[in-house]
Chain A
């Protein structure tokens, strides 16, 4: 499903971000990606959806060799992946409904499908009652749920979540984690990057640990 072979990446040719990373993730698996700040978690996630290039190694996602995908074809990879950003990346000028629908619009879905899928995604995260609100009118937890709905709306095979609970209190964080676990039940592969050790200990998912760009354990 997702395979990394001896992946290395440096910034500016000198600062190593990832060193010789090799591991694989099965279809429908939920893994925690953890490590201290600067360990390379975000870089690794960015490589997986083609937002960063790497210097050496091979990365396969759903049979697609990421290093070989030309820039103009990256969209075909990104349509298989839902990304949840730490800073949510919601568009303040668009309503909750429009923000989620946006992911459908950009892939050229028809209006009827957009309405149906957006409603379904909002229902999944329990936000149908706030569909006409704008992001600044929502709490942090609600904004993160909108971001998750947007990542889910295109029925991706993989979800990459970069510190999705980083700015949230423990109660809301647990709620968000449960949301990802429900998504996993539908056969979606989840990579959940976090440095919250308490959260990791509370669950029985596989843990991949990075430190200073190196794979410590998996």
Chain B
């Protein structure tokens, strides 16, 4: 084991330039992937925070009976997606309206009746398919007796949903293409590393080295390249994130209303590192397997 590690480091030492070029390639490629992730994470947070403000308002008919109201409340309370329910009476709604439009008090005072209905204001728990659930529940409620109308910004909710689905598919496609590209790049850089040491490897096999002895240092080198490239990419993305955060904080705040420009979440950092290590290993595995197969003519 010690011998293998020594061989790996001696290989790296004697091919410093190729090794560093490989790491730089991996860093650039993973930075692209990481930046997409950062954009996704921030867009997602922004959309999630924004969507939290989405409420379902159930307007009630004036002639709603006590039983109908009770039935409606029961239906709302058994829905596990509903986070909170607030009842706004006709009077409270009217009072709120008067307070908001106090400048037009003359018109409001002239009205001899309260035109506003009583309502339930519902907030929903966060979920991936939150919008779909709100829509389904709204459909259900609209058919209940005593319900006058519902309001939940259905138009922009639909657009939102489609946009989120598009973003996810786009990221998945870009991520997959980049992963394939990276595997090929690493496989190629390991090939370069092999070619720069071809005489040494051929000699090793001719003087009695086991194929495993030849393979393992390359695989470790691939792993190290992936790991170092992954760490360097994460550090680069962090630097970019910090730069954007401090340089454009004012502008971001006005757009994102208090939402901070975030880094990749911890679980995703581990995924990025594991992926970089795996791709490093896979790239070197593909190349070295090819070479060892053509060794005996």
- Residue B210, interface by CB 8 Å: yes
Assess the B297–A108 pair: CB atoms within 8 A. Answer: no
Q: How far is the CA of A160 from the CA of B275 in the complex (A)?
A: 47
Q: B188 contacts the other chain (Cβ, under 8 Å)?
A: no
Contacting residues, chain B, for A83 (C-beta < 8 A): 206-207
Number of A-B contacts (CB under 8 A): 55
The smallest beta-carbon distance between B27 and chain A, in angstroms, is 27
Q: How far in angstroms is the closest Cβ of chain B from A73?
A: 9
- Verify if B208 is at the interface (C-beta below 8 Å from A): yes
Give the secondary structure class of B's interface: helix
A91 touches B296 (CB 8 A): no
With both beta carbons as reference points, the residue of chain B lying nearest to A99 in the complex is identified as B203
The residue in chain B whose Cβ has the minimal distance to the Cβ of A46 is B297
B interface residues, tally (CB under 8 Å): 18
CA of A50 to CA of B213, assembled, Å:
18
How distant is the Cα of A60 from the Cα of B210 in the complex, in angstroms? 21
Contact A107 B206 (CB under 8 A): no
Q: Which A81-107 residues have a C-beta within 8 angstroms of B?
A: 83, 89, 91, 93, 102-103, 105-107
Task: Say yes or no: B7 contacts A105, CB within 8 Å.
Answer: yes
Q: Does A78 contact B (CB under 8 A)?
A: yes
Interface residues on A, range: 20 to 34
A53–B297 Cα gap in the complex (Å)? 6
Indicate whether A105 sits within 8 Å of B3 (C-beta atoms), given known contacts A50-B296, A75-B210.
Answer: yes
User: Contact partner of B203 among A49, A53, A91, A93, CB < 8 A?
Assistant: A91
Q: A89 to B200, alpha carbons, bound, how many Å?
A: 9
CB pair B199 A108 closer than 8 Å:
no
Q: Are A79 and B296 touching (Cβ within 8 A)?
A: no
Q: How far is the CA of A102 from the CA of B204 in the complex (A)?
A: 8
The complex places the Cα of A27 from the Cα of B200 at a distance, in Å, of 31
Q: For the complex, give the distance between the alpha carbons of A107 and B205 in Å.
A: 10
Q: Is the CB of A52 within 8 A of B297?
A: yes
CB nearest to A92 among chain B residues: B199
Q: Shortest CB–CB separation between residue B218 and chain A, in angstroms?
A: 14
* A106 pairs with B209, CB closer than 8 A: yes
What 1/0 mask marks residues of chain A from 3 to 42 whose CB sits below 8 Å from any chain B CB?
A: 0000000000000000000000000000000000000000
Asked if B110 is at the interface of the complex by the 8 Å CB criterion, the answer is no
Q: Provide the bound-state CA to CA distance between A140 and B199, in Å.
A: 19
* Residues of A contacting B207 in the complex (Cβ-Cβ under 8 angstroms): 78, 83, 102-103, 106-107, 150, 154
Closest to B15 in A: A93
* B199 adjacent to A89 (CB under 8 Å): yes
Closest approach, in angstroms, between the C-beta of A59 and any C-beta of chain B? 14
Q: Are B213 and A74 in contact (CB under 8 A)?
A: no
Is B208 a contact of A78 with CB atoms below 8 Å? yes
A201 at the interface (CB under 8 A from B): no
Q: In the complex, what's the smallest C-beta–C-beta distance from B212 to chain A, in angstroms?
A: 8
> Closest residue of chain A to B293, judged by CB?
A71
Question: In the complex, are the beta carbons of B296 and A71 less than 8 A apart?
Answer: yes
The verdict on A72 contacting chain B, using a C-beta distance below 8 Å, is yes
B199 engages A107 (CB within 8 Å): no
**Inter-chain contacts of B297 with A (CB < 8 A):** 51-53
Task: Check B295 for interface membership: any CB of A closer than 8 A.
Answer: yes
B77 within 8 A of A: no
Q: Please measure, in the bound complex, the distance between the C-alpha atom of A93 and the C-alpha atom of B11, giving whole angstroms.
A: 11
Judge if B14 is at the interface, Cβ distance under 8 Å: yes
Q: Mark A122-141, 1 if CB is under 8 A from B, else 0.
A: 00000000000000000000
Contact present for A75 and B209 (CB under 8 Å)? yes
Residues of A135-185 whose CB lies within 8 A of B:
150, 154
Write the B182-205 contact mask toward A (1 if CB under 8 angstroms, else 0). 000000000000000001100111
Any A CB within 8 A of the CB of B211: yes
Residue in B199, B206, B209 whose beta carbon sits within 8 Å of that of A51 in the complex: B206
**Contact among B3, B211, B296 with A108 in the assembled complex (CB-CB below 8 Å):** B3
Complex CA distance for A170 and B246, rounded to whole angstroms: 78
- Residue numbers of B with Cβ under 8 A of A are 3, 7, 14, 199-200, 203-211, 213, 295-297
- Report which A residues bind B (CB closer than 8 A): 49-53, 71-72, 74-75, 78-79, 83, 89, 91, 93, 102-103, 105-108, 150, 154
Other than the given A50-B296, A154-B207, 19 more pairs (CB < 8 A) read A52-B296, A71-B295, A74-B205, A74-B296, A75-B209, A78-B206, A78-B207, A83-B206, A83-B207, A89-B203, A102-B204, A105-B7, A106-B204, A106-B207, A106-B209, A106-B213, A107-B207, A108-B3, A150-B207
Mind listing 21 A-B residue pairs with CB under 8 Å? A51-B206, A52-B297, A71-B296, A74-B296, A75-B209, A75-B210, A78-B207, A78-B208, A79-B208, A83-B206, A89-B203, A91-B200, A91-B203, A102-B204, A102-B207, A103-B207, A105-B7, A107-B208, A108-B3, A154-B207, A154-B208
Sorted from nearest, which 4 A-B pairs have the closest CB atoms? A106-B209, A79-B208, A78-B208, A75-B210
